[in-house]
Amino acid sequence: MSRPAILIVGGGIGGLTAAAGLAQAGFAVTVLEAAPAFGEIGAGVTLSPNAMRGFDFTGCMEKVAAAGVEPKRQRIQHWQDGRALLTLERADAREKY
C-alpha cells in the first residue's frame, strides 16, 4: 500500500520541519507558502526543547543551534504595556532538557 501525499500550508519553521520529517519517513510532501521567497523577516523566535528534538530528528539540530543564540535569561512581557509577566533562567537549558 502506498503512502498518501501530504500537503503542508505554510513554509515557516513548523511547516518546513514537518515536511522534512515526513519526507524522511517516505511521504511525498508538497509545501505551499504565500511569501515570494524564503528569508528573514526580522522576528525573533524562541525554540523550546521539544522543538529542538524535532530538529534533532531531522538531522539539523546542530546547524539550527549554531545559527542561533542561547539566552541565559528570558523575560516574557505584556504586549500592551511592556510589564514583565515571567522571567525564566535558561543558562542550563540544554543540560536540563
pLDDT, one tens digit per residue, over 14-39 is 899 899 999 999 999 999 999 888 87
Q: By the 8 A CB rule, do 66 and 44 touch?
A: no
Q: With H, G, I as helix, E, B as strand and everything else as coil, classify residue 19.
A: helix
13 contact partners, CB below 8 Å, separation of at least 6 = 45, 47, 51
Amino acid residing at 29: V
CA distance 64 to 69: 10
The two beta strands, 29-32 and 6-9, are parallel
pLDDT by residue for the chain (97 residues), tens only, comes to 788 899 999 998 889 989 999 999 999 999 999 988 887 766 677 788 888 888 888 888 899 889 888 888 888 899 899 999 999 888 887 777 7
Cell triple for 44: 525573533
Cell triple for 96: 536540563
